[in-house]
Homo-oligomer: A and B are copies of this chain.
Amino acid sequence: MPHRDHLTPTSSGFFVSQEAPIHTDHPIPTPTAPAPDILRCAYMELVVTDLQRSRDFYVDILGLTVTEEDEQTVYLRSLEEFIHHNLVLREGPVAAVAAFSYRVRTPEDLDKAVAFYTELGCRVERRADGFTKGIGDSVRVTDPLGFPYEFFHDVEHVERLAWRYDLYTPGALVRLDHFNQVTPDVPRAVKFMQDLGFRVTEDIQDEEGTVYAAWMRRKPTVHDTAMTGGDGPRMHHVAFSTHEKHNILAICDKLGALRRSDCIERGPGRHGVSNAFYLYLRDPDGHRVEIYTQDYYTGDPDNPVVTWDVHDNQRRDFWGNPVVPSWYTDASLVLDLDGNPQPLVAREEESELEATIGADGFSYTRRGDEEHGFKLGNTL
């Protein structure tokens, strides 16, 4: 980040800028075909190895609503959703992600999606009846980064249960908030996502300009998806929202009561990036689920882009609590359109884990202050 001179420091310790301060020397070419108009991340299709165990986790523990189910598949939604599902659990031999699915504004945006990805030389498959129940005409692609992306507009409406407080649990999940993807070259991925119409809201860099992660949005929240640097393509997590922070604490309490606290991987805590309150869980297959609440509005075109220093100990946990190594290293496989796991490409740039943890890494609470306090980060 030699260009840190061009960023504006804030009283909170991070920087802001107008343009996303991320540049790539290895861009994917920008298609001449216009990108589809994406509304929001809409659902994830997860392959799970034991459908009943996964159903127990997502329905009995997390309280997602079953819209429909059969022997192979469970279709789940959050309480404020009116489309058929936000999560599909499909039983299969290898735990993986079959689709990151986005809703587009119009049926015609599917034609645009086909043209956009076809021009990029991607494999593209379109099904008029959709790939999952409840969804109509859909396009699935393996994108240039290796991820299985889906786009759809037509969808079955179901009742929005927002007012059905008799169905709420103490940890009620009300919305799908975002995806998070692992990819080796973050700037290259960001540039591609910008071509797809996404806007950067926050990122993590070091002073040399290495980008460790970036957050991007279509709907006016901090993100619909994020790119996290690491061996990829992999899925880092899928995130659901609660209304309040105590709802997230209630999920922890319930896991403790059920003697399932070992599926709490990290948190709860306050993010620096996004300013949201968070918790990371691991489902029975190890798929990571974030529970998330209270980020901020980002819908203005000149919304300030926030850049965090990778050595700022409050960037990922605003209270300075340590990130467990598994959070950096583990992620889920993603599938190609034939259902085979995508091979991984190693990240060549420095890893955030190595840059920030252990004897060689260093991080600060106050810039220029070498005190470390009681934090575990530097002793892991």
Q: Which residue of B lies closest to A160 (CB)?
A: B304
In the complex, the answer to whether B163 meets A318 with C-beta atoms within 8 Å is yes
In the complex, the answer to whether A302 meets B157 with C-beta atoms within 8 Å is yes
Bitwise, A310-352 to B at CB < 8 A (1) or not (0) is 0001100011111010110000000000000000000000000
Instruction: Judge if A12 is at the interface, Cβ distance under 8 Å.
Output: yes
Q: Which residue of B lies closest to A13 (CB)?
A: B259
Shortest A51–chain B CB gap in Å is 21
Contacts of A282 in B (CB 8 A): 373-374
Most chain B beta-carbon contacts within 10 A, residue among A10, A40, A157, A163: A163
Instruction: Judge if A66 is at the interface, Cβ distance under 8 Å.
Output: no
* Copies of the protein in its oligomer: 4
Most chain B beta-carbon contacts within 10 A, residue among A159, A272, A277, A319: A319
The A interface is mostly helix, strand or loop, or mixed, namely loop
In the complex, the answer to whether A40 meets B299 with C-beta atoms within 8 Å is yes
Asked, given contacts A244-B244, A252-B319, A261-B313, whether A297 binds B166 with beta carbons under 8 Å apart, the answer is no
Contacts of A23 in B (CB 8 A): none
Instruction: Judge if A59 is at the interface, Cβ distance under 8 Å.
Output: no
Q: What are 28 A-B contacts defined by CB distance under 8 Å?
A: A10-B159, A12-B163, A12-B164, A12-B257, A40-B299, A82-B303, A82-B304, A83-B300, A160-B296, A163-B272, A165-B253, A167-B257, A168-B250, A170-B172, A244-B244, A245-B245, A249-B270, A253-B318, A253-B319, A256-B270, A261-B314, A262-B371, A262-B372, A262-B374, A264-B321, A282-B373, A324-B376, A327-B374
